[in-house]
A and B are shown apart, each in its own frame.
Chain A
Amino acid sequence: EVQLVESGGGLVQPGRSLRLSCAASGFTFDDYAMHWVRQAPGKGLEWVSGISWNSGSIGYADSVKGRFTISRDNAKNSLYLQMNSLRAEDTALYYCAKDWGESIAVANYFDYWGQGTLVTVSS
């Protein structure tokens, strides 16, 4: 059974940093691209960032480019999101999502999602 478990969320002041983690199990982690998708309270889904199976290709939404860094450790079956210079508008539930394929360059879909970790940016 595929499982994606996010952690690392919490309350953080504007301008500070936070690192999210996603522990994956139930599939061959290094065969697939992975993503972070967020959802602000009462709002829609927003793709944040994606990383290919071997970290060779990485993409970011314009809203987080230059502030967030995605990475993965295939030996630990883990995905990460380093979030710096956080803003109030980054407040959201952050989902870890598995890609159907290995590359972020192909318009694939997300076939499994975690339950999310909540990030609240407020003073």
Chain B
Amino acid sequence: SYELTQPPSVSVSPGQTARITCSGDALPKQYAYWYQQKPGQAPVLVIYKDSERPSGIPERFSGSSSGTTVTLTISGVQAEDEADYYCQSADSSGRVFGGGTKLTVL
């Protein structure tokens, strides 16, 4: 079955830029989406269709795509951004999530 690969963890200091990647063979043909999940909470969509930002999501969150890799970028990271981040796309049988990346704000 189709897989999306994310790094298990990313660490940055407050104010720096965090980049979280997600790789998958079908990403050039399928949109990717990004979710933020904080402990004890349901996931929240932060990026859709590779690079679109839903209303209410801070401008510091952005997304990009290049070939088989999509990237979630958080500029000027704040302490409140510490969370797990998941990419999501689809294959022929349904939806697929990446394994998740824990963002630690040092």
Contacts and interface: CB of A to CB of B under 8 A. Distances in A.
A113 B44 CA distance: 8
A95 B86 CA distance: 15
A107 B89 contact: yes
Contacts of B23: none
Interface stretch (A8-16, A19-27, A39-47, A80-88): A39-47
Interface residues of B, number: 23
B83 interface: no
Interface of A: 35, 37, 44-47, 49-50, 59-62, 95, 100, 104, 106-111, 113-116
A109 B88 contact: yes
A44 B100 contact: yes
Interface of B: 1, 30-31, 33, 35, 37, 42-43, 45, 48, 84, 86, 88-90, 93-100
A100 B90 CA distance: 14
A62 B1 CA distance: 8
Nearest to A65: B93
A113 B88 CA distance: 15
B94 A49 contact: yes
A46 B88 contact: no
Contacts of A37: 97
Contacts of B33: 109
Contact of A60 (B93, B96, B97, B100): B93
Contact of B94 (A104, A109, A111): A104
Given A59-B94, A107-B31, A114-B42, A44 B1 contact: no
Contacts of A116: 42
Nearest to B31: A107
Nearest to A113: B42
B43 A113 contact: yes
Given A44-B86, A109-B88, A115-B42, A59 B93 contact: yes
Given A107-B90, A113-B42, A44 B95 contact: no
A44 B97 contact: yes
A51 B88 CA distance: 17
A45 B94 contact: no
